[in-house]
Amino acid sequence: MSENNSSENNSPPRTFKGLLRWATTPPQAWGVYLLAVLLVWLVSFYAGTLKPKKTPEASPPPPVAAPKS
Contact 19, 13 (CB under 8 A): yes
Identify the pLDDT of residue 58. 64
Identify the pLDDT of residue 40. 97
Contact 40, 47 (CB under 8 A): no
Nearest-angstrom CA–CA distance, 16 and 7: 19
Identify the pLDDT of residue 8. 47
Domain boundaries, the chain: 11-49
- What are the φ/ψ torsions at residue 43 (nearest 5 degrees)? -65, -40
The helix or strand, by DSSP H or E, that contains position 45, with its residue range, turns out to be helix 26-49
| Gap between the terminal Cα atoms of the chain | 85
Identify the pLDDT of residue 10. 57
Identify the pLDDT of residue 32. 92
Q: What is the pTM of this model?
A: 0.52
> In order along the chain (69 residues), what is the average pLDDT of each group of 10 residues?
51 83 89 95 94 72 73
